[in-house]
Structure 1
Amino acid sequence: MKKLVSLLLIFISSSLLARPIEVVTDQYPPYIYYENGKLVGIQVEILSEVMSKIKIDYTLTVYPWKRCLQLMKNQNADLLLGVMKNSDREEFMFFPDEEIVNVSNKLFSLTNEKIKIKSNFQSKTIGTMRGYYYSETFMSYKFLNKMEANSHEQLLDLLFRKRVDYIIGAELVIRYGARKRGLPYYGLNYEFGKSQKHYVASSKGDLATSIVKRFSKELSSFKKTERYRELIKKYTF
C-alpha cells in the first residue's frame, strides 16, 4: 500500500512539473516592481537566483495584494512572493523556515514630529495598504482611524494631499516612492513592533509545499554568499 501511495505521488508530481510553477505577487518597490516593462527588485532577483539553483521553472505574475491572497486560498497559484506570516494565512499557506527579507514598518509624515505613545494617534488618520498585515501590535490598535489605498502610489498621494496625517509602510518602499517623485517626507521614529519577516510561501498542495521547502533550504545558503550581498546593496540607498 505504501509503495502504491509513493508511486502515485511521484506520478502527480511529474505531471504538475510539466508546467511552470505559478508565483504571484504585488508591486512593492524596491523589492518588487516594474522598470521599463520588466519585473525587477530585491525579492525578484533573489527568487530568480534561487529558483535557478534548484532548477525550477516558474512564472511570476503581479496582481493586487488581496487577489494574490485569494488565489492562494483557492489554490489557483502555487507560491506567493513577499508575504508576512500570521495565523489566518497559515490556515491556507505553508511558510518555510527561511525568510526572503526582513522589513521594518514605520510611520511617515509631512512634519518632523516626535511620537512616543499610542495616544498620539487618537485624533489622527493613518493611511494603510488594503489587505496588508503590518504587525501584531499595529493590528491590535482598534482605535486607529485608517484610510486604505490600493497601491503605494495612492498611499503616498493620501499623505501629500493631506487626506491623512500619517502613512505606514516599509522604510525602503516609502523612501523609494517619495524620492522617485521628488516629494518631501519625514520618517518618524516610531515602529509598530519588531521588523517583519517576508517569505515565499506556498499553497497547501504537496508539490508546492515540497518546492518551497527546497527553496527555503537553498535560500539559507544563498544568503551567505557575496552575490546576495550585492543584490541587497544594488537596491539599497
Structure 2
Amino acid sequence: MPLFHRQFIAALLFACLSLAAQGQTLRIVSEAWPPYIHDDNGVLRGLDYETAQIVLQRLGVEVEWQLLPWRRCLMALEQGHADGILDIFRTPEREALMLFPSEPLSQIEFVLFYAKANPHPFQRLTDLRGLKIGVSPGYWYNNRDFRESELFTREPAPSHAANFGKLVRKRVDLVINDRRGGRFILAQTGLDEHIRHHPRVISRDKMYLGLRRNAGLDQLAQRFASELRRFKHEPAYAALKARYNSPDRTRLAVQPPGKTANH
C-alpha cells in the first residue's frame, strides 16, 4: 500500500477515535466551592459549573458530574476514574497529567480573611509570624513565599465553609480563600457580619477545566476553549456573572458563633 494511503487511513482512524471519545459520557469531578460549583439542595449550580455545562452542551458532550474532596478529585483523575476536573490551577507538574484548554473559566484572587472580634493586622509576610492559618488541603497558592513560608502554621479543614466556622470560634487566626468565593460563602452562612478580609492580595491565579492526558481528549480541549471564549462575549455570560457576584443569604450548614460543631 502506498505511503500516502497508509497516512490517510491512519489520520482517518485517529479522527474516528477522537470523535468516538468525544461521544462518550465525560466524567468530571470537582470540589464544592461556591460560587463556582456547589450543591444547592441536590442540584448543582455555580458560575464555572454552569458555564462549563453550557459550553459542553453546545459541543454535544454528555457529562457525568461528581463532587468530591479536592485530594480525591486529584486521585480520581490520576487513576483514570475521571476524565476531567473542574476549577484547577495550571502548574508545570499538572501539565504532565492533564490537558488545559487555552481559555480559563475564572480568574481569582486569594486574600486573608479575619474575624472582626479577633483582627490580625497584615501588611507583609512577617506579620503572620506565629499565627495559625486555615487552608484547603491539596490547594495550590500561586505565591512561592507564602506557599513555602515557615513563619506560620497551616490548619486544613474539610470544606471552605468549615474553615470560616473555625475562624469565628478562634480555632484559626486567619483563613486564606478566594475573595469572591469567600464573600459568597459568608453571605450564605450569615457569617459576613463577623468576618472581613484584608485588602492585600496574596496571589492571583486562573482556574481551568483540566482534562486527562492521553485519553483522546486533545480536540475536545481545543473546541472547549474556542466555544468558551465565544460564550464569554454573550449577554448570557454577563448575566451569569452578575448573579453569582451578588449572592442571596441562603443558609448553609455552618454553625453560627457561640455554638459547637465537629470539624
TM-score range relative to shorter protein: over 0.9
Q: How far does residue 209 in structure 1 lie from its aligned partner after superposition?
A: 2.5
Is the 1:84–1:197 Cα contact (8 Å) retained in structure 2? yes
Matched, 1:61 2:70: no
* 1:160-179 mapped onto 2 (5 Å cutoff): 160-179=168-187
Structure 1: segments with no counterpart, 5+ residues: none
Q: How far does residue 42 in structure 1 lie from its aligned partner after superposition?
A: 0.4
* Aligned partner letter, 1:108: F
User: Which deviates the most, 49-58 or 35-44?
Assistant: 49-58
Is the 2:120–2:173 Cα contact (8 Å) retained in structure 1? no
* TM-score where L is the length of structure 2: 0.84
Describe the shift of the 1:181–1:206 C-alpha distance in structure 2 as closer, same or farther (beyond 3 A).
Answer: closer
Q: How far does residue 173 in structure 1 lie from its aligned partner after superposition?
A: 1.7
Structure 1 counterpart of 2:251: none
Matched, 1:128 2:119: no
* TM-score where L is the length of structure 1: 0.93
CA distance in 2, matches of 1:139, 1:63: 24
Q: How far does residue 78 in structure 1 lie from its aligned partner after superposition?
A: 1.3
Match of 2:36 among 31, 36, 39: 31
Describe the shift of the 1:179–1:42 C-alpha distance in structure 2 as closer, same or farther (beyond 3 A).
Answer: same
Matched, 1:187 2:187: no
Is the 1:81–1:199 Cα contact (8 Å) retained in structure 2? yes
CA distance in 2, matches of 1:221, 1:51: 13
Identity %: 25
Is the 2:114–2:167 Cα contact (8 Å) retained in structure 1? yes
What is the count of residue pairs matched by the alignment?
236
Matched, 1:233 2:238: no
Structure 1 counterpart of 2:95: 90
* Aligned partner letter, 2:123: K
**Structure 1 runs of 4+ with >6 Å offset:** none
Structure 2: segments with no counterpart, 5+ residues: 1-5, 247-263
Please give the per-residue CA displacement for 1:191-232, whole angstroms capped at 9, x wherever unaligned.
113x21000111102522321221011111111111110100
* Aligned partner letter, 1:63: L
Q: How far does residue 53 in structure 1 lie from its aligned partner after superposition?
A: 1.7
Instruction: Mark the structure with the bigger radius of gyration.
Output: 2
Is the 2:30–2:86 Cα contact (8 Å) retained in structure 1? yes
CA distance in 2, matches of 1:40, 1:4: 43
Structure 1 counterpart of 2:151: 143
Q: How far does residue 70 in structure 1 lie from its aligned partner after superposition?
A: 1.1
Other structure's SS at 1:31 match: coil
CA distance in 1, matches of 2:130, 2:68: 34
Q: How far does residue 34 in structure 1 lie from its aligned partner after superposition?
A: 0.9
Please give the per-residue CA displacement for 1:136-164, whole angstroms capped at 9, x wherever unaligned.
33323243310011211221122111111
Q: How far does residue 8 in structure 1 lie from its aligned partner after superposition?
A: 3.2
Other structure's SS at 2:217 match: helix
Q: How far does residue 9 in structure 1 lie from its aligned partner after superposition?
A: 2.0
CA distance in 1, matches of 2:199, 2:60: 43
Q: How far does residue 18 in structure 1 lie from its aligned partner after superposition?
A: 4.6
